[in-house]
Every structure is written in C-alpha cells, then in structure tokens.
Structure 1
Amino acid sequence: MTDFEGVHTGALLGSLGISNADAVLDLREADAAQADASVKELIERSLFMPRRAVAIRLSPPPEGGGETLFLPVGRQLLAARRRGWIARMSPLPAHDGLGYFVVFPGRDTGTAESND
C-alpha cells in the first residue's frame, strides 16, 4: 500500500475542516431564512472571486432531536454544484461540528489571447 503525507490522506478521506478553509460562514445562530440568504449570497459572490475554500458551520440538533439546517443548506449547495459553481463539497469532520467544507472554483483570472 502506498504511503501518503498527512495532508493527502486527509483530503482522500474527506476530513478537510475549518483549519483548512480560507473563510468560515458561521450559521449556528441563524434561522432557516437567514441561512438561505447567507448561502445564496456566498454562492453568488464566489462567482466573481478567486478560488477559495469555505467552511459552513451549522447548529447541532436540539437536545432530544429535531430539525437542523443540514439538509436545506445541503440541497442548496448541491444545486450550485450541479451548475458547476462548486468544485468540491463534503461534510465537516466530526471534531469541527455540523456543517460543510466547500471549495468554490472561482473566477478564471487568466487573460485570453485573441488570434486576430
């Protein structure tokens, strides 16, 4: 079996978390409407920014169980991924709590050369 450096092993296992992110969107105190608007704005802004990784933190379920924002935010991110606006996404590792690690491909900053 091939040996990998720690960072590569973590990437293969999907354990990229808050310490690997360029930014953190903390939605732990947000309600559903605020979370929806915040994620929508994050996705829209990412279309015009360079490549970056963002950790999205969500509240754990309340004591005794209940709804979280994990599924609604996940659906929103999956829709963006299908459109090619997200390069990679995975759940945060357990030690970082509930949420997602998302990599936005960013805007191509290279200049196109014309053949004129």
Structure 2
Amino acid sequence: MPHFEDFYAAKLRGSLGVTDAESVLDLRGSNRPTAEASLADMLERSRFGKGKTVAIRLDPPPEGGGETLFQPIGRLLLDAKRKGLVDRLQTLPGGDGLGFYVALSGKAARSSDG
C-alpha cells in the first residue's frame, strides 16, 4: 500500500476543511438568530451566482458541556441540500474545529428549450 503525506491522505479520505474552501462563514460568537439569518442570507445569495465551497465555523461546546449551533445550523443545511441549494455537506475535520464544509450549487443552468 502506498504511503501518502497526511495532507494528501486526508484529501483521499474526503476530509475537506477550512483551507480547502473558497470562503469562510465564521459564526463563532454569534447567537442563534444572527447565525441562522447569516446562513439564510448566504444560501439566498448563492442561488444567483456560481457554485462555490464554504467552510462554516461554529463555537465549540462551552466548558462543562452545553448547547452549540451545530444542530440548528446542520438542520438548515440539510434542508438546503434537500432543496438543491447544497451539493455537498460534511463536517469539518477535527483540526479545524466545529463546523461544516459546504459546496453550494449556485445558479441552476438554464435550459435552451424554446
């Protein structure tokens, strides 16, 4: 079996992270309504441009445990995937912290029916 450097092995395993994304939506320090509004705005704007990849960064759980934005943001992203706004959705690798790597679909190609 060939040996790969960690960087290339991670690429083969599909663990795309912050450095692989074209842009970053940093929701660390945001409250839930602000984070959800920022995500909704990003998804809405993505409908009119070309597809791109985005790393969405979230705060880790507070010391001693507690709620994070992981579940509510994850649900919104899954809903966007069902609606065809997101092509690929995965969690960030552990070294990048809590969050998601998202490939936005972008503007749908127009058919030339006519």
TM-score category (smaller protein):
0.7 to 0.9
1:74-93 matches, cutoff 5 A: 74-93=74-93
Q: 1:112 to 1:81 in 2, by over 3 A?
A: closer
Task: Give distance in 1, aligned partners of 2:71 and 2:113.
Answer: 45
Alignment pair present for 1:22 and 2:42: no
Cα deviation 1:58-103 (Å, max 9, x = unaligned) = 0000000000000000000000000111000100000000000000
Unaligned runs of 5+ in 2: none
Question: Who is 1:64 aligned against?
Answer: 64
Q: TM-score, normalised by structure 2?
A: 0.87
Task: Give distance in 1, aligned partners of 2:40 and 2:63.
Answer: 29
Aligned-pair identity (%): 47
| Aligned-partner residue type, residue 44 of structure 1 | E
Count, aligned residues: 114
> Alignment RMSD, CA only?
2.4
Unaligned runs of 5+ in 1: none
Q: TM-score, normalised by structure 1?
A: 0.85
TM superposition shift of 1:13: 2.3
Q: 1:113 to 1:6 in 2, by over 3 A?
A: farther
